[in-house]
Chain A
C-alpha cells in the first residue's frame, strides 16, 4: 500500500513537472515541487546526521583501521553543528540589537564563517588541486600509443592541447592566416575545427541518446513500470 502510494505520488509529481513546461497556469508547479523536495531533504538530513554519528561511533568503539579518522569526523561534525546552532560569535542583528541569536549564523567573524573560511575552503581547494595529478596519471595511461586508434587519439589530443597554448600558435605562425587553402593548418585553427566539428558532432549524438534515455527512464517511473528505486520490482 505504502509503495503504491509512493509510485502514485512520483507519477503525479512527474506528470505535473512535464505539464508545467507547456501549460502556462502550471508554470510555478516546478518551483513548488522543488520546494517540497527541499523540505523532505531537510527532514532526511536528520536521518543522515544520525547515521553519521552511529557509523563513526561504531568505528571508534571497534578500533578498526582508520578509527582515528572517525574521531576527527565526529569532532568536526559536532563542533560545526554546535557553532551553527548556538550561533557562536554572531552579534545580534542591527534591527534587533536587544535580541540574542537574531543575527545571521554565517556573518563575517562568526565561528561558522571562520570554520568555512579557514578550514573548509582550504581543504576543498587542496582536494580540487590534486585533480591535476590524477589527470596527468590518467592521461599517461589513456594516451599510450599501443595501437593505431590510440596513436590517432594521441595525435588529436596533442594538436588540441598545443593549439590552445601560446607555443602552439607560435609554432605555426609562419602559415599565412589570410590564405583559406592553408590557414586551417595553423594549430589554433586545427584545434578549433576538431573541437567544433568532430567533438561537437560526437557530443551531440551522445546528448540526443541521453535525452531519449532520460525520457524513457522518466516514463517508466511515471507509468510505474520500474519501481526498483523504491525497493520493489513491478
Chain B
C-alpha cells in the first residue's frame, strides 16, 4: 500500500464552511420570499425607470416604422447573464408582438440563437400573434467578439433601429455598440452584471440596469408572485449581509482598539479567511 492511500480524502471540501452557510442563508431567504408571495403576502417593488421605458421604446419604434435591436451579450448559455438576457428577451418580445413591431436579434453563439428563438416564439404565441414571429430575424453572426460587433454595428448603421436593448454579458464591445446606437439616435436600455462595463453603458445609454437590477428585471416584467417573491428574498439576504458586515466591522474595530490578540480576534481572522479575505 502506498503512503498516499493511507490518507483518507475528506468528504467535504475544507475551508468552505462559511461560504456554505452563506449560500444556505441566501437560498433560505429567497425560498422564504417565494413562499411568502405565494401565500398572498404583499411584495412592494420600487419602480425601475429603465424597465418602465421598454414600452415607450417599443412604441416609439412602432411609430417610426423602424426595427428594435436586442443584443443578448456575447457569451454562451452557460453564463447566467446570458440566461437572464434571454429571459428578458422573452418579456420584451411579448411587448414587441403586442405592438406589431419588428424585432432583430443578432447572436454570437448558436445555442443562444436557438434559445432566443424559443423565447421569442413563445412570446408571440402568448401575445396571440403567432403569425408575426419570424425566426430569420434571430440569427447567428459569429463567435468572434469583434466580428460580431462589426456585423451588428453595420446592421445598426444600415437599418437604424429606433430602440436598442443590451441585456447580457458584455466586454469591450459594450461601448462600441452603445456609441453606435447613440449615433443613430436610438432609445437605448442596457443591463449587465459586468461591473467594468457599467460606466460605458451609463455614459452612452438612456437607461442602465446596474448589477442586481439586471437580474431583477425578469421578475419585475413578469409580475408573477413567485418571481416577485425572489426579489423580497434578495432584499432579506442583502439585509443579512449588511448586518454581518456592520457587526464584523464594529467587532474588528473594538478588537483592534481595546482587546488586542485573543479568542475574539482569532475568530474574526478565521471568519475573514473563510470568506476569502486577505491578510
Contact = CB atoms under 8 A, between A and B. Distances in A.
B90 A231 contact: yes
A219 B136 contact: no
A44 B210 CA distance: 31
Interface band, chain A:
35 or more
B43 interface: no
- Secondary structure of the B contact surface, majority rule: helix
B159 to A, nearest CB: 8
Interface stretch (A16-24, A93-101, A164-172): A16-24
A23 B215 CA distance: 28
A230 B86 CA distance: 9
A24 B9 contact: yes
A27 interface: yes
A44 B112 CA distance: 10
B20 A22 contact: yes
Interface string B233-271: 110011001000000000000000000000000000000
Nearest to A51: B140
A211 B210 CA distance: 13
A210 B193 contact: yes
Given A48-B113, A206-B210, A231 B23 contact: no
A123 B144 CA distance: 12
A214 B16 CA distance: 19
Interface string A112-135: 000000001001100110110011
A24 B172 CA distance: 37
B234 A137 contact: no
A25 B11 contact: yes
B26 A215 contact: yes
B146 A128 contact: yes
A151 interface: no
- Secondary structure of the A contact surface, majority rule: helix
B12 A213 contact: no
Contacts of B155: 66
Contacts of B149: 127
Contact of B13 (A21, A51, A73): A21
Contacts of B203: 138-139, 141-142
A212 B30 CA distance: 9
B226 A225 contact: yes
Contact of A213 (B34, B76, B158, B216): B216
A232 B90 CA distance: 9
Of A55, A208, A231, most B-chain CB atoms within 10 Å: A231
Interface in A29-53: 34, 37, 40-41, 44-49, 51-52
A44 B109 CA distance: 9
A141 B214 CA distance: 24
A21 to B, nearest CB: 7
B83 A217 contact: yes
Nearest to A55: B139
Contact of B118 (A130, A221, A230): A230
Interface in B103-133: 109-111, 113-115, 117-119, 121-122, 126
Contact of A128 (B11, B26, B172, B226): B172
B3 interface: no
Contacts of B144: 120, 124
Given A24-B12, A203-B195, A215 B30 contact: yes
Contact of A214 (B119, B121, B215): B215
Contacts of A24: 9-13
Contacts of B76: 37, 41
Shortest Cβ-Cβ A-B pairs, 7 listed = A231-B118, A213-B215, A48-B110, A209-B212, A44-B110, A142-B203, A48-B140
10 contacts: A41-B76, A69-B154, A73-B151, A141-B203, A210-B212, A213-B211, A215-B30, A217-B215, A217-B218, A233-B224
Interface of A: 18, 21-25, 27, 34, 37, 40-41, 44-49, 51-52, 55, 58, 65-66, 69, 73, 120, 123-124, 127-128, 130-131, 134-135, 137-139, 141-142, 203, 206-210, 212-221, 225-226, 228-234
